[in-house]
Amino acid sequence: MKRFTWFTFLYLALGVCLTAIALGYPNLPSGLQTSLFVSAGVSYLVCLFSTFTFWREATIRFYRRRGSSVILPWLVIGFNIVWMIWEVQSQNWTMEAILRALSWLLVVLINTELIVITWRVNSEP
């Protein structure tokens, strides 16, 4: 059975936004444009995978196997946000820096979903 969550739609929206940006600005450097297309493609794949039950079950198995790794998604999210802000600020808020940082938003979304799934597992009786 396929299962749609808010994160499924967030992955899809991120992929659509990244694709629209990459197509809307043809004068971007080719490496940045490729990075945006790759991030959009991965976002579409994660969107597809998140609809299947094995996605949630694999997360639960990983969480139960490694109970001490609960802090890991929080650290990844914090590191990515700090890195994105640092990168954008150090390049004087240029459009290329913002788009490069935006392509890493998928990592933050995946780890946020991991946190939400583990919270739901902990709240189940």
pLDDT digits (tens, 9 = 90+) for 4-15: 788 999 999 999
Per the structure, the count of domains in the chain is 1
Residue-level pLDDT at 2:
67
Question: Would you say residue 13 lies in a domain?
Answer: yes
Of 110, 76, 118, 81, which is closest to residue 8 (Cα–Cα)? 110
pTM of the predicted protein model: 0.85
CA distance 28 to 108: 24
Task: Assess if residue 11 is contained within a domain.
Answer: yes
Look at residue 77 and tell me if it is in a domain.
yes
Per-residue pLDDT tens over the stretch 72-111: 889 999 999 999 999 999 998 888 889 889 889 999 999 9
Residue 95 domain boundaries: 6-123
* Residue pLDDT, tens place only, 20-68: 999 998 888 989 999 999 999 999 999 999 888 888 888 778 777 766 5
Three-state DSSP class for residue 105: helix
Question: Is the residue at 1 inside a domain?
Answer: no
For residue 68, what pLDDT is reported?
52
Whether residue 48 lies inside any domain: the answer is: yes
* Model pLDDT, residue 16: 96
